[in-house]
Amino acid sequence: MRLPQAILTRAWRESANLAQLLPEVRTIESARSELRWITEYVHEKMTDRASKGIKVSEGDLQNKISHLCYLRGQKGFPLQYLLGSQPFGDSLEIKCRRGVLIPRWETEEWGIKVAQAIRRSHPFFTAGAQEDLDPGTDIPSEATGHTFKVLDLCTGTGCLALLFAEQLRAPTVKSVYVEGVDISQNAVDLARRNRSINVGQFEQYGTSVVFTRADMFALDVASDHFDIIIANPPYVSEEHYYSCRHTTRSVRRFEPKQALLGGIDFYRRIFQLAREGAVPAVVCEVADQEQLQEIVDECIDDGWDAGGMSDSAGVARTVIAWRKELSAWSWMKQLIDS
């Protein structure tokens, strides 16, 4: 849809760079924010060059800002690919590059909410020293041992795995282990780089993160004793992928189709892995209410307690599921929309 001429005129009067951004970001307020981030990024890069003795002029700085605004607004490059990173969680800096899905605020939001709920409510974290746990409890053996284990499927940049490592860190807990898995070597390489950049946010607390290249449809986790599976799998339908109303030009042109196009088969495989590995709980991002309901219905038919959680925009965003017989996870019902 074309922008009203009045908005374009207003933007040009304020700044040529602001007007350059408008075709992609659509509002002056959003354009101002992105121009500020681009300007800060260029200033930082130019300052770094100057510190190395490379001559940098004001003209160089302005030309670079203008070029990035052109790529963003006129060519549709995602901002995260231009700036090279995305802040995530409380303290993480997630590097981004073409070929790997960009972290979204919706994923960050539910990841923080679920991880904090685990810290607040799961007996592994609330019982203090694990030796004090009642040996007669129905908590799975892996939860009463020395390590709480998280499996992140379709990890991409590793943002969710690293977010859980950051949020679950606690000196009183013996250790937390997070494993991220992706079929893309490009994604795994980037996730490992992000781990090295952010390792100081969790390693000192006895938390470890590893990233593995594997096809989830050929994965075997039966003997790994994970406590929870988390995932942001490919969930965009073919119809929605090619619809401008559901998927923007920028996403279709620049982000990996493999990480976006998918559906119910991915969720069925995730829950199959959970059954085979006796994993007590699963949390996955979903596309919409229709997809959420289909997954929840199948979970309930298969003996799970399950429901959905919406994001702050009111969109059905996450399926929450746990084994009925395990009271250690019954608190998850608090996360489900009433």
Return the pLDDT at 241.
Answer: 83
CATH 3.40.50.150 residue ranges of the chain are 100-335
Question: Strand runs (DSSP E) across 176-259, as ranges?
Answer: 176-182, 207-213, 228-231
Which residues, 6+ apart, have CB-to-CB distance to 272 below 8 Å? none
Q: In three state form, how does the secondary structure of 217-231 look?
A: CCCCCCCCCCCEEEE
Do the Cβ atoms of 323 and 275 come closer than 8 Å? Answer: no
Phi and psi torsions of 300, nearest 5°: -65, -40
Rg over alpha carbons for the chain, rounded to the nearest Å, is 22
* Closest to 78 measured CA to CA, from 154, 25, 18: 25
What's 284's DSSP letter? E
236: phi then psi, degrees, rounded to nearest 5? -80, 130
The rounded distance, in Å, linking the Cα atoms of 202 and 21 is 37
CB hemisphere CA count around 70 (13 angstroms): 6
Looking at residue 144, its pLDDT comes to 47
> Residue 78 has which token pair?
């995602």
What value does the mean pLDDT take over residues 6-23? Answer: 94
What's the token pair of residue 250?
Answer: 């920028």
pLDDT per residue over 146-159, tens digit each?
A: 799 999 999 999 99
Backbone angles phi, psi at 310, to 5 degrees: -90, 160
Q: Are 216 and 187 in contact (CB under 8 A)?
A: no
pLDDT at 312 over 80: yes
The CA distance from 212 to 101, in Å, is 17
Given a contact cutoff of 8 angstroms between Cβ atoms, the answer to whether 159 and 94 are in contact is yes
Question: Considering only CA atoms, which of 22, 29, 31 is closest in space to residue 3?
Answer: 22
Mean pLDDT of the chain: 91
The larger pLDDT score, comparing residue 244 to residue 213, is at 213
183, 216 Cβ separation under 8 angstroms: yes
Asked if residue 224 has pLDDT above 80, the reply is yes
On whether the 100-335 domain is CATH 2.60.40.1510, my answer is no
What is the tens place of the pLDDT at every residue in 183-223?
Answer: 999 999 999 999 999 999 998 888 999 999 999 999 999 99
d(CA 236, CA 246): 9
Q: What is the pLDDT of residue 119?
A: 94
The residues, ordered by sequence, that sit 6+ positions from 258 with a Cβ below 8 Å of its Cβ are 183, 184, 234
- Give the pLDDT confidence of 117-138 residue by residue, as tens digits: 999 999 999 875 444 443 334 4
For 234-257, letters b (16+ CB in 10 Å) and e give: bbbbeeebeeeeebeebbeebbbe
Per-residue pLDDT at 128: 58
* Per-residue pLDDT tens digits for 37-83: 999 999 999 999 999 999 989 999 999 999 999 999 999 999 999 99
Written as six digits, the tokens of 149 are: 């284990």
Instruction: Show Cβ contacts of residue 36 under 8 Å, excluding neighbours closer than 6 positions.
Output: none
Give, as one character, the DSSP assignment of residue 280.
S
8 Å CB contact between 189 and 141: no
User: CA–CA separation, 270 vs 268, rounded Å?
Assistant: 5
pLDDT of residue 228: 98
Residue 154, token pair as written in the block: 């379709």
Q: Per mean pLDDT, which of 3-7, 245-249, 328-332 is the most reliable?
A: 328-332
| Spatial distance between the Cα atoms of 277 and 125, rounded to a whole number of angstroms | 22
Residue 167: pLDDT band with limits 50, 70, 90:
very high
Residue 338: what pLDDT? 62
* pLDDT tens readout for residues 251-288: 889 999 999 989 899 999 999 999 999 999 999 999 99
Q: Are 68 and 141 in contact (CB under 8 A)?
A: no
